[in-house]
Chain A
Amino acid sequence: MDMAIRIRGVTKRFGPTLANDNIDLDIRQGEIHAILGENGAGKSTLVNILYGLYRPDAGSITVCGQPARIDSPADAASLGIQMVHQHFMLAVPFTVAENLVIGHEPRRLGVLLDRRRSEEIVRSLSQRYGLDVDPRAHVEDLSVGARQRVEILKALYRDARILILDEPTAVLTPPEIVELFRIMQRLKEEGKTVIFITHKLREVMSTADRLTVLRHGRLVGTHDVAQLNEDMLVEMMVGRLVDAEATGEARQGGQIVLRVRGLRAPGHQSGVEALRGVDLDIREGEIMGIAGVEGNGQLELVEALVGLRPVTAGEMQLDGVSIVGRSPREILGRGLVCIHEDRQARGVIGEFTVEENLILGEQHKPPLKRGFFMDRQAIHGRTRALIEGFDIIPPRSDIQARYLSGGNQQKLVVAREMTARPLRLLIASQPTRGLDVGATEFIHRKLRELRDRGTAVLLVSADLDEVRLLSSRLAVMFKGEVIADRPKGEYRDAELGALMLRGRQPVELASERM
């Protein structure tokens, strides 16, 4: 059969979200096939279905001509499908050889682990596929790129015929990325089929044979890479950008609240910089939106600003005072407040009541504190006002926050952060992720109100529509730098997408070609 995998009508729903919407896709034997799309487009869901981690609500899958029922990774493995996850499944204190053979160990005398044979296996696979690793090295000493090679070898050891790589380049340095592409070619030469997920255009153009673009859970199209150029891709991924809503957002900001110059910060590996000289000004009374594909340094920028990530060079000034090297507590005290990405981990204390959550961060200051104890009257008053003002449902101060829906939990966090004192700059990081339309619009409204009262707001969101909608100014981040910083209206239609996805202006505007 020519088709390695045939997907027909696959649909998957998680609660209110339709992650995969009736997807039809063919993956050819022996090809390198890229699945492209923004975050939330449904790529991970689709491959997790192929790997047996999720079961589709509808649709069918055929593997090498045979209808397949993939209920678990073990089923997938028996069909020759192996996956290399973004977060490696490697036991760090053990050696490469040990990690590789675990579960299928070569033995001597039936029980003893045959180390020599294990190492040989690693070496021979290494050589055959051009994946350079030392079988005796301990995984904890290996670079991320090397660890990924071990993961790939693991898949190959288990007789993978179809390899799925989930965002393989997200954690690699540029030279490691080049190496990975060479490896993928080699795998193809050896007759393997490779599926890889990415949101980086450049990689797709340079490695894949064919690609598929997903957007909002739907398949936009499958094409031969040779027949495409990057601009066409941009349009497929992001859609036409002409319909920027005119909501009168373009306003002049006032005084500069946050000034960032030449900010550099390390990434997850040594030798990799996540921020490579960021320059940014945020003014009172404006919403500065950061547009950019996730993974270009936005998260690291937020962490650096709140004091959770060390800065190696450059300057950050809040109201003229340097905040480089200060503790998160100090920075908070100076008025830099953040709505964090992960509200479960950092935002909400589930077992605390709504009221108790609302005072977090303010509990030790008057008027909430009176002498040694907390002033209940003041607290109750504040809670009532916030519950009303932010429409938290159910409007009860005494229920535990974990019983609130996601949207209401986020409203709680937003209520708390927006009323923190002092408040000079509010960073909203993915503020409406996972929320329904109603909650989203509510939070948008609140952000605008805050801006209207003169506070500076920094909006970081993977949802481009949201960023475009709310911001007065838009900055584009690409590979750790801010490559454009203008009032929203000054971006031409296709320019924004091109800047985000390719880091430069479009050669010719797709809309003009139509």
Chain B
Amino acid sequence: MAGAEEARPNAGNWLRRALNSPFLGSLASFLLAIGAAALLISLAGFDAGEGYSAMLRGIFGSRMSLSDVLARSTPLLLTGLAVAVPLRAGLFNVGAEGQLLLGALLAAVVGMLPGIPAWLHIPLTLGLGSLAGALFGMVPAYLKARFRAHEVITTIMLNYIVTLLTGYLVNYPLHPPDEMLPATEIIAASAQLPRLVRGSQLTIGLFVAIACAFVLHLLLQRSVMGYEIRAVGLNAEAAEAKGIRRTRVWLLAMAIGGAMSGLAGATEVSGVQLRFLEGFSPGYGFAGIAVALMGYANPLGVILAAHVLGAIRTGALTMDRTTSIPADFVTVIQGLILVFLSTPGLLRLLIEKRSPATGSLPIEDLTS
């Protein structure tokens, strides 16, 4: 129940309010995760300091490393958006991985088509890849609207179904005869995304991704569609009472989310892989969950979170090369970030125990 805000200018009140800021909450979770991970790695007998300094070298060490970070952040930004937008509507899109694969496959197929000029081929590839993701993303939304099927379960299962489906396609019908790897042909040159930095994996995909983030931010804040998405996510009952149909909003939100994942897959294929290779995604879709939560489901926050995660993932490769700590370790940091972010204000809870609550407290709990 809301009560009138009483002005109690004591330290506890200020601290509580600061801790409820989304940015600080994310930052705190991130730092705690780094710290806890350092503890774990030390317990396992490795040198945490050595590991982290190798990571930093990998991120800031050379000019190339900056390009690597940006290149690696691009798909994370898109999958982060893919999870963030549905989250604003109150939906958990765990299916970004599957949507990404579908978009990637379609991009590969379209990319292989000959005789299309580049100015058309690239938008076509990216566009159709997004479309595939969008349509597929609407499936769990439809199942939820019609059958009340919980979207977490359906999206997890659909991920596996799509992984198997694309695996099949890439190993049989779409498999070129002389190819050893489970992959399709290389796409046409006209479909390949121009590189931003020679010799790196950084493509214009980065700009596309950032543009998407800004567009979606504007959409959520300024458009009617965005307003309705946010209203349904915060209080679907009140929204319905004033004429907003939640099922329609769900379909829309998942279409947008799916489109972003599809685009992530398409940009990876068109820019980095240049074909569909089975297993090419190192869990971008799932990492998107961490990105979205770290960015508090705000597209601008997602930009920052994607780069932070992209940075540590890049740094992890250097750590892997130069120390004995495997790159997989960064997944532990990701997991710890999720665990800390999942608790609605762990720190706030500790503070609360000591000073009594004054009326209502802001509970920035997107995840409940």
Contacts and interface: CB of A to CB of B under 8 A. Distances in A.
Instruction: State if A and B touch, Cβ cutoff 8 Å.
Output: yes
B228 interface: yes
A305 to B, nearest CB: 13
Interface string A108-122: 000000000000000
B343 interface: no
A361 interface: yes
Contacts of A329: 243, 245
B227 A356 contact: yes
B242 interface: yes
A347 B223 CA distance: 22
A374 B241 contact: no
B228 A363 contact: yes
| Best-surrounded residue of A360, A402, A404 (most CB of chain B within 10 A) | A360
B362 A400 contact: yes
A503 B103 CA distance: 68
Interface string A316-339: 000000000000110011000010
Given A351-B234, A373-B223, A402-B2, A328 B362 contact: no
B3 A332 contact: no
A80 interface: no
Contact of B224 (A15, A345, A369): A369
Interface in B1-38: 1-5
Nearest to B225: A372
A345 B237 contact: yes
Contact of B238 (A338, A347, A406): A347
| Best-surrounded residue of A340, A351, A376 (most CB of chain B within 10 A) | A351
Contacts of B64: none
B235 interface: yes
Contacts of A352: 230-231, 234
A374 B237 contact: no
A406 B2 contact: yes
A236 interface: no
A61 to B, nearest CB: 27
Given A332-B243, A333-B243, A363 B227 contact: yes
Contact of A402 (B223, B237, B238, B360): B360
B231 A328 contact: no
A296 interface: no
A406 B5 CA distance: 11
B362 A348 contact: no
A332 B237 CA distance: 15
A interface, over-half SS: mixed
A409 interface: yes
B4 A360 contact: no
Interface in A5-20: 15
A89 B238 CA distance: 28
B239 A360 contact: yes
* Category for how many chain A residues contact B: 35 or more
Nearest to A15: B3
Given A352-B234, A406-B1, A346 B224 contact: no
Contacts of B3: 15, 405-406
Contacts of A346: 237-238, 241
Contacts of A372: 223-225
A404 B243 CA distance: 24
A350 interface: yes
Contacts of B240: 328
A402 B218 CA distance: 24
Given A328-B240, A364-B224, A405 B2 contact: yes
A344 B1 CA distance: 8
Contact of A349 (B1, B223, B239, B360): B239
B148 interface: no
Contacts of B231: 349, 352, 356, 360
Interface string B214-225: 000010001111
Nearest to A365: B224
A401 B223 CA distance: 20
B226 to A, nearest CB: 9
Nearest to A405: B4
Contacts of A373: 218, 222-224
A403 interface: yes
Nearest to A372: B223
A25 B29 CA distance: 55
Contacts of B245: 329
Contacts of B227: 356, 359, 363, 374
A403 B4 CA distance: 6
B2 A349 contact: no
A328 B2 contact: no
Contacts of A345: 235, 237-238
A350 B243 contact: no
Contacts of B238: 345-349, 360
Interface in A364-381: 364, 369, 372-374, 376
Contacts of B362: 400, 402-403
Contact of A328 (B5, B228, B241): B241
B175 to A, nearest CB: 44
A382 B207 CA distance: 38
| Best-surrounded residue of B4, B222, B230, B234 (most CB of chain A within 10 A) | B4
Interface in B58-76: none
B222 to A, nearest CB: 5
A271 B227 CA distance: 42
B243 A349 contact: no
Contacts of B4: 404-405
The list of the 9 closest CB pairs from A to B, nearest first, reads: A361-B242, A405-B4, A329-B243, A349-B235, A346-B241, A373-B222, A360-B242, A402-B2, A349-B234
14 contacts: A344-B1, A345-B235, A346-B237, A347-B238, A352-B231, A356-B227, A360-B231, A372-B224, A373-B218, A374-B224, A402-B2, A403-B360, A403-B362, A406-B3
Given A364-B224, A369-B224, A376-B222, 16 more contacts: A328-B240, A329-B243, A333-B243, A345-B237, A345-B238, A349-B231, A349-B234, A349-B239, A350-B234, A352-B234, A356-B227, A374-B222, A400-B362, A401-B2, A405-B3, A406-B1
